[in-house]
Amino acid sequence: MSLALSTNATISAASPAPALRIGLIGFGCVGQGLYAILQQVPGLGFEVGRIAVKSPDKPRSLPKEAFSFQADELLHDPALDVLVEVIDDAEEAFRLVSTALRQGRRVVTANKAMVAQHLPELVALQHEYGGTLLYEAAVCGSIPIIRTLDAYFGQEPLRSVSGIFNGSSNYVLTRMGQDGSEYAPALAEAQLKGFAETDPTLDMAAFDPRSKAIILAAHAYGVLLQPDQVLNLGIENVSATDIAYAAIANQKIKVVAGLYLLPDNQLTVLVTPQFVDQSSPLYAVDDEFNGVVIEAEFAGTQFLRGRGAGGHPTGSAVLADLAALRGNFHYAYPKLAAAQLGYTTDLEIEIYLRTDDELILDQLGFTDITEEADEDGYIVGFVPLDALLQHRDRLRQAGAFVARTGNVRPATQPADTLALAEVE
């Protein structure tokens, strides 16, 4: 028996939808990455209609006539279907994005500092004016973590969301662990390879992963936070001594951003160096890669790993948001609409502190000391989280290095009681 199509049968296909015209604001690493992807893979249904940059005199890969030098011109161009904002000025980004949302426009941004600082306003503007803002590229580069939390885990309670959210600091720590080098030459190598900025403060002092953690708190737990509420301690003062201390215990030092659900519906968020052992999937996340661990109440443990920075990885996240906008996707923020969790810093966390500043020891107020080595200048023990928040700038200025062990307990807990949990 044979099958054949009827000679009278016809096959028709709908005409392809016209390409969405993009107004691209910024042509740095991410902007060029997106542009290159669209040039390399034609037929995706997007075209860059206009590009706005700040400086007319900066050498670029496209001729000068390809650019506009006033971003506001793109805001008022009705021929543009979507605006993509990828500049590094958080306040100017907010001005542009908020103006576009007041126009009811569709916008994609990769600016994590802007989103973290202004998320409540951005959510309100979308509701009031009917615009849409997507920002997958703002957190962990190519890893689709925001949409995963917003859509897939929008209803399920999460015990924790933690991970390595910054590729620059992770690259430096990886090199120090592999080569036994000190911080300065490892940072210089990261800068030479383009993994760290000329001014590395945002990455190395953990301001960048703090912004990302704040964004994830809204989607994972429905909690809107301000940056100063979240502890961020960086690696500017890390030394080969600290790396060696971790290696003796078969651990690595990683900058871990952690969102943890505690008893009584309390959330806490910590962004600090942490000792990570081989039982954690983050142990093997090296170089410029990022990794995210989701501990869900019913689905269990999920782990996502990918490149956290770079033009093509981050450009791919922008492309995914463009495709989502074409399908009329928008963030539902389901947990913002649910009963709000509380946010607490009323905790004690166990830290490793290396310093020769005795005043810092007094100011932090150790409640329990579990290890001390005068000759190496370090101490391990529990300190109030609020004390670390209060003195974080002082710790940096004093050249102190702090890493947490993962142990957390209520601030009111007696010193001789076991720690609540190893949250990593």
121 close to 97: Cβ distance less than 8 angstroms: no
Q: Find tokens 């290890």 and name the residue.
A: 371
pLDDT digits (tens, 9 = 90+) for 118-146: 999 999 999 999 999 999 999 999 999 99
The mean pLDDT of 54-78, rounded to a whole number, is: 94
| Token pair of 211 as six digits | 């912004």
**Residue 416 banded pLDDT, cuts 50, 70, 90:** very low
pLDDT at 198: 81
**Dihedrals φ, ψ of 260, to 5°?**
-125, 130
User: For the stretch 32-56, what's the b/e string if a residue is b when 16 or more beta carbons lie within 10 angstroms of its beta carbon?
Assistant: bbbbebbeeeeeeebebbbbbbeee
Q: List active site positions.
A: 212
pLDDT digits (tens, 9 = 90+) for 162-214: 999 999 999 999 999 998 999 999 999 988 888 888 889 999 999 999 999 99
The mean pLDDT of 26-53, rounded to a whole number, is: 95
In 75-183, beta strands by DSSP E: 82-85, 106-109, 132-134, 158-164
Distance CA 390, CA 412 (A): 18
| Token pair of 176 as six digits | 């120090």
Tell me the β-bridge partners of 291.
Answer: 164, 305
pLDDT at 107: 98
pLDDT digits (tens, 9 = 90+) for 243-292: 999 999 999 999 999 999 998 899 999 999 999 999 999 999 999 999 99
**Residue 413 banded pLDDT, cuts 50, 70, 90:** low
Query: What value does the mean pLDDT of the chain take?
Result: 91
Distance CA 95, CA 114 (A): 10
pLDDT at 15: 56
169 close to 204: Cβ distance less than 8 angstroms: yes
**Residue 417 banded pLDDT, cuts 50, 70, 90:** very low
pLDDT digits (tens, 9 = 90+) for 204-255: 999 999 999 999 999 999 999 999 999 999 999 999 999 999 999 999 999 9
Q: Find tokens 């100011």 and name the residue.
A: 363
- Report the SS3 class of residue 186: helix
What share of residues in the chain are helix, strand, coil (percent, to 5)?
40, 25, 35
Residue of 93, 103, 106, 97 lying closest to 132 (CA atoms) = 106
* Superfamily of domain 155-306+339-422, CATH level 4: Dihydrodipicolinate Reductase; domain 2 (3.30.360.10)
| Token pair of 268 as six digits | 């806490």
pLDDT digits (tens, 9 = 90+) for 293-336: 999 999 999 999 999 888 899 999 999 999 999 999 999 999 99
pLDDT > 90: what percent of the chain? Answer: 81
Indicate the CATH number for domain 20-134.
3.40.50.720
**Dihedrals φ, ψ of 365, to 5°?**
65, 60
Higher pLDDT, 198 or 362: 362
DSSP characters for 15-78?
Answer: PPPPPEEEEEE--SHHHHHHHHHHHHSTTSSEEEEEEE-S-SSS--SS-GGGEES-HHHHHT-T
Strands laid side by side in the 132-134 sheet: 67-68, 46-52, 20-25, 82-85, 106-109, 132-134
CB atoms within 10 A of CB 117: 19
Judge whether residue 7 has pLDDT over 90.
no
pLDDT > 70: what percent of the chain? Answer: 93
Q: Find tokens 């002082």 and name the residue.
A: 394
Tell me the β-bridge partners of 23.
Answer: 50, 83
Higher pLDDT, 309 or 380: 380
pLDDT at 421: 40
| Token pair of 372 as six digits | 């001390």
- Report the SS3 class of residue 155: coil
- Report the SS3 class of residue 401: strand
17 close to 45: Cβ distance less than 8 angstroms: yes
CA angle, corner 275, sides to 274 and 276, nearest 5?
110
**Residue 420 banded pLDDT, cuts 50, 70, 90:** very low
The domains of the chain are located at 20-134, 155-306+339-422
56 close to 69: Cβ distance less than 8 angstroms: yes
DSSP characters for 225-288?
Answer: --GGGSEE--STT--HHHHHHHHHTTEEEEEEEEEEEETTTEEEEEEEEEEEETTSGGGG--TT
Distance CA 295, CA 278 (A): 18
The mean pLDDT of 360-371, rounded to a whole number, is: 92
- Report the SS3 class of residue 356: coil
Distance CA 229, CA 218 (A): 14
